[in-house]
Amino acid sequence: MATLPTIGWIGAGRMGTAMAGFILAAGYPVLVCSRTAASRQRLAARGAREAANRAECAREADLVFSSIPDDATLRAIALGPEGVLANARPGAVFIDTSTVSVEVSAEVAREADKLGVLYLRIPISGNAASAQRGEVTALVSGPQSAWETVKPVVQTFSNAQVYLGAGEEARVMKLVVNALVVNFAQAMAEALALGRKAGLDWSLMLDTLAQSTLTSPWLKAKAALLKRRDFTPTMTTRLILKDIDLMLAAARANSVPMPLTAATRQLMQSVVGAGYGDEDYMAAIKHAEQLSGLSTDRVS
């Protein structure tokens, strides 16, 4: 039997812990590095080894994954003398699963090329809940040979994988997906406020949407949570503002007008200003209700 590659995992937040857990369950040896001891210990309890730092994680792994929040963190873990790229084994593959800018991703790619490390961009379409079920989509770009090596590992934690090209295509595709999500979330907030103000039953309205021509796995999942007014964050409003800023930056770089997304950005900033920054971004519904003179505490 062939020896399974050792997996380095950097970043054990809700998404990262869920994905690394599936890799562990598939029998791969996993070395975990995370800023917080509690995050490392959750995976250690399931069989992972704890790395002292990202450099050790890179030195001892064949494939190094990262699941991190933003551009600055990707730069910090990937670049510099203590970064993944400078310490990776010859022929190692570095795989980032985060939502970051094309510019910073390309910067990492250039450094990886210099140091002989294969670099895959695999941003994940899904949220913490779908990650826990292994029901996320992996959007993939980078060297195809590296993808063929890494694919069996990615299949342990995702139910769909799409290879998009040799460069930054996956980064752009993630922004395309999230642009639709965030704009639809705001449209849904306004539509539900209209329905409530006009006297529609809240639960029946959501059930109807979930069975309409608009239905999708995303809408069904959100409708189920909204029926019980559950705004526990799958992604906070503050965090989705970061994604919107990435969309608008990409739009400027490509001379693409995105007036709807620009307006949604301002509306989501208003949601944060109304006190819902740490709730799920669907708290845009509460903000729309407030503006319409509706109660946000209970719904009939």
* pLDDT, position 298: 63
User: Do 109 and 217 reside in the same domain of the chain?
Assistant: no
- DSSP code string of 40-56: HHHHHTTTPEEPSSHHH
The secondary structure element, H or E, covering residue 160 is strand 160-165
User: Do 198 and 155 reside in the same domain of the chain?
Assistant: no
Flag whether 296 is in a domain: no
Q: Exposed/middle/buried for 176, CB within 10 Å: 0-12, 13-18, 19+?
A: exposed
Flag whether 220 is in a domain: yes
* 24, 48 contact by CB (below 8 A): yes
Flag whether 202 is in a domain: yes
User: Do 137 and 176 reside in the same domain of the chain?
Assistant: no
User: Do 229 and 258 reside in the same domain of the chain?
Assistant: yes
Count of structural domains within the chain? 2
pLDDT, averaged per 10 consecutive residues of the chain (300 residues), comes to 87 94 97 89 94 94 96 96 95 97 97 97 94 96 98 98 98 98 97 97 97 93 95 94 97 98 98 96 97 82
Flag whether 57 is in a domain: yes
